[in-house]
Structure 1
Amino acid sequence: MATSVRVAAAQMTSVNDLSANFSTCSRLVKEAVTAGAKLLCFPENFSYVGSKSGNSLAIAEPLDGPIMKKYCSLAKESSIWLSLGGFQEKGSDDSHLRNTHVLIDDAGNIRSTYSKMHLFDVDVPGGAVYKESSFTEAGNDVVAIDSPFGRLGLTVCYDLRFPDLYQELRFRHGAEVLMVPAAFTKVTGEAHWETLLRARAIETQCYVIAAAQGGKHSEERESYGDSLIIDPWGKIVGRLSDRTSTGIAVADIELSVIQSVRSKMPISQHRKPVEFWRSASASL
């Protein structure tokens, strides 16, 4: 990894039109390339947001289908890595899909995938009721991969509320950059989005790249937005001027910052793993 690498986090308002969303993504790729970014991260549901729950089943495809092939070609033609957070991958049967984070390199090759582990089955206070598990299969694998931008830990949206996953990515899988593509609701975003992201960065001493859906997708659905890039000290180093516009946030991943924070506060040495607490409890 170079000592400094420029990355970008996209913010967009996907709709129930695959072609329109691809056009938006293509435009954002051009912006990122012009800005000098080598990696562009897209939010959850970047390629499609249905007007009703479960609509995504109708357009779900395998990773070698025509939708993903277009994004692989886009990465190759633009010589940029793409993080595609939350692709509707066809599941094991016609009534289920997988919410899959796909990482594509600058040659257009799929380098890694992660299927969302924690599914959003929530009655949002003052909002709608969601039951992602009714049409989505949960993943089981923790995924981290080496890249020119450091060792990347892949997650999706609701995973953000479960710190054990991020602890696992940092302390067992060596992650240096955590990727959190999301489509947070307006209510939950206002209450918790920035706080949770900065907490994950601080407690793992990792960069966090959080690409977000923002604005009204339809009369029935609205996302909070606020795409962020956060450094290992919890400082916001990349952010758009508002929460709902379509655009990119740009920042430089600095290897020296990761090393400095971790050496001055060596929590990896001070940390007591789960096995320690189990042993301590057993001895009581």
Structure 2
Amino acid sequence: MCRKVQSPIFTTGKLTYMKGSLTLILGVLIALCTHAGTVDTISVYSNAMKKDIRTVIILPSKYKKLSNLPVVYLLHGWSGKYSGWIKESPQLAKTVDEMQIMIVCPDAGFNSWYFDSPVDSSVRYETFITGELVPYIDQHYKSSKHRAFRAIAGLSMGGHGAMFLSIRHKDLFGNAGSMAGGVDIRPFPKNWDLSKKLGDSATHPQNWENYTVINVVDQLKPGELNLIIDCGIGDFFLPVNRAFHRKLLEMKIEHDYTERPGAHNSKYWGSAVDFQLLFFKKAFDKAKAAVVAAK
């Protein structure tokens, strides 16, 4: 179920991401029993791409009584979609209640890699997320509008996207995370239809250099972002994550980096997200303490 939202309407326990036999009544009972937050699916219009973008919103159950909520934008991976996170990590509905945050999961197409394509003008997901989605959320929801209370993270392609967007838009994001992220796309010129978004690596080599996160990180200075990066030791992206980690160390960019048992699959990032959200919650709490101390 998906609806286009002009102003937010919330129903406790409305699990719009489920299909088939799961009814609204069952959803309400689940929420009441587990003290979980609400899950809704909305459509946000992208003027840049002239289409509606489906987006999952996860809110604390006491949302109406809250204000200035920290926001975590969670990005899906290649071949995924907006509903992927809540299906693979159903604990998120409870986590938002425990942490008093909100989570936003936008759709980014089959293989957008979260940038504005230099060869396909119809692919403008950097513009959508940073210039359209974030302003939409801040206008229609009780979200904090300060970068210190805004985070972005993702899995695989979404890990690349989170790093790419946070580094290029430090005015919007104070925190970013990558789970099993494709943080250097250059070793994979024949994979995931990347050439359709960047051009062939042989004829458009500069695009591949300019749009890979391991090079974009050159724009980052120490202390500008709170970063957390993790990857499974059985993941094919492990070598590029290790290289990314080494470069951050050389640049003296503070970050949390973890390798854990696991492969490139939903089992890995379905649990890795818990560690990343805890990292963000600590950053939000620290920022809140700083605001209180400054008063």
TM-score normalized by the length of structure 2: 0.35
Question: Which one has the bigger strand percentage?
Answer: 1
Give the structure-1-normalised TM-score: 0.36
Instruction: Identify, as 1 or 2, the structure richer in helix.
Output: 2
If asked which structure has higher relative contact order (CA below 8 Å, sep 6+), I would say 1
